[in-house]
């Protein structure tokens, strides 16, 4: 898989050492439903944030079994020798909430559970599987924070907690309109200028794409939505305005 274009866009092509990335992928892929290219991009976003000294922590809304969140910890340890930015991991651990009309017919059909192979019990993960993975890799409590509950209640509290520190990387992987909307409204404002926001389900589900479009237009924001390789997700750099013609 060729990720070089996105690495070049983020200015970190040299740092993405293939053997290290492969070693991390071998650990986290059994704990993620995200395609390998999306996990690699997620790690690249963390490296970009640290290399550019962006202030703030890292947060994933929708950790499921934790593959992406743990990748964001492991890449820090492998490349920088320690955890420089704690990773906040938010999930209901009760699966996805019910779709609403904004999520579209495909989402409603999926949630009816007819495609058992890709249903994953409505994306329900066991919290103790993620805790075990964190322990196996000797992460300490200051390295991460696990926040269980529905985003509608947890995200505003976490946003208040992180208001001073901010976020350097925000990973949205909550599938539906309402889940994406609450995360964008509460967490995008505290994301650092030049920070990366990954929107994993942008191509997968209508509601996620609509939530992002609605958020950007209702707040008059000029962020450019970019595709991950093979359209397996999207991202934007939070940038108030384009300052020169060379800027991606
Ligand atoms: C597609 S999975 C996440 C995949 C994961 N990032 C990975 O690496 O495989 C979506 C997750 O979002 C969680 N989720 C979605 N909406 C939520 C909400 N409103 N509150 C809490 N959790 C939510 C679900 O419980 C589920 O675990």
Question: Which SS3 state, helix, strand or coil, does residue 46 take?
Answer: helix
Ligand 1 atom nearest to 62, measured from its CA: 12
**By 3-state DSSP, what share of the chain in percent is helix, strand and coil, each rounded to 5?**
50, 15, 35
Question: Which SS3 state, helix, strand or coil, does residue 133 take?
Answer: helix
Distance 175 CA to ligand 1 centre (A): 7
Q: 103 vs 41, 106, 150, 184, 212, CA distance in Å?
A: 26, 8, 18, 16, 12
Give residue 187's pLDDT: 98
> What's the CA gap between 61 and 29, in Å, rounded?
18
Query: Domains of the chain by range and CATH?
Result: 4-237 (3.40.50.150)
Give residue 89's pLDDT: 98
Give residue 6's pLDDT: 75
> What's the CA gap between 228 and 38, in Å, rounded?
7
Task: Give me 165's structure tokens.
Answer: 């520190």
| Residues having CB within 6 Å of any atom of ligand 1 | 32-34, 62-64, 67-68, 91-92, 95-97, 123, 125, 150-151, 173-175, 179
Ligand 1 atom nearest to 179, measured from its CA: 19
Beta bridge partners of 196: 169, 237
Distance 176 CA to ligand 1 centre (A): 9
Question: Which SS3 state, helix, strand or coil, does residue 172 take?
Answer: strand
* Backbone phi and psi for residue 191, each to the nearest 5 degrees, phi listed first: -80, 140
> What's the CA gap between 99 and 195, in Å, rounded?
29
Ligand 1 atom nearest to 152, measured from its CA: 19
Q: What is the pLDDT along the chain (248 residues), one digit of tens a residue?
A: 567 767 777 887 777 788 999 999 999 999 999 999 999 999 999 999 999 999 999 999 999 999 999 999 999 999 999 999 999 999 999 999 999 999 999 999 999 987 777 788 899 999 999 999 999 999 999 999 999 999 999 999 999 999 999 999 999 999 999 999 999 999 999 999 999 999 999 999 999 999 999 999 999 999 999 999 899 999 999 999 998 988 77
Environment class of residue 149 by beta-carbon count within 10 Å: exposed (0-12), middle (13-18) or buried (19+)?
A: middle
Residue nearest to atom 2 of ligand 1 (CA): 64
Distance 225 CA to ligand 1 centre (A): 21
- How many other CB atoms sit within 10 Å of the CB of residue 55? 15
Give residue 10's pLDDT: 82
Q: 215 vs 159, 178, 179, CA distance in Å?
A: 17, 12, 13
Ligand 1 atom nearest to 67, measured from its CA: 8
Residue nearest to atom 15 of ligand 1 (CA): 174
């Amino acid at each position: 898989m060729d990720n070089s274009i996105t690495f070049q866009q983020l200015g970190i092509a040299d740092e993405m050492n293939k053997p290290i990335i492969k070693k991390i992928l071998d650990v986290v892929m059994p704990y993620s439903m995200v395609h390998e290219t999306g996990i690699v991009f997620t790690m690249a976003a963390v490296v970009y944030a640290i290399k550019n000294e962006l202030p703030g922590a890292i947060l994933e809304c929708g950790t499921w079994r934790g593959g992406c969140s743990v990748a964001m910890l492991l890449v820090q340890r492998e490349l920088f020798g320690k955890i420089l930015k704690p990773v906040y991991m938010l999930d209901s651990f009760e699966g996805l909430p019910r779709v609403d009309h904004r999520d579209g017919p495909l989402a409603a059909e999926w949630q009816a559970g007819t495609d058992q192979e890709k249903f994953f019990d409505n994306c329900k993960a066991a919290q103790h599987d993620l805790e075990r993975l964190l322990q196996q890799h000797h992460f300490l409590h200051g390295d991460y924070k696990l926040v269980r509950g529905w985003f509608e209640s947890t995200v505003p509290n976490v946003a208040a907690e992180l208001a001073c520190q901010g976020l350097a990387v925000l990973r949205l992987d909550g599938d539906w309109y309402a889940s994406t909307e609450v995360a964008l409204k509460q967490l995008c404002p505290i994301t650092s200028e030049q920070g990366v926001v990954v929107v994993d389900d942008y191509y997968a589900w209508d509601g996620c794409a609509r939530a992002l479009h609605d958020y950007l237009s209702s707040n008059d924001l000029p962020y450019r939505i970019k595709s991950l390789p093979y359209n397996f997700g999207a991202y934007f750099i939070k940038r108030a305005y384009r300052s020169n013609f060379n800027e991606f």
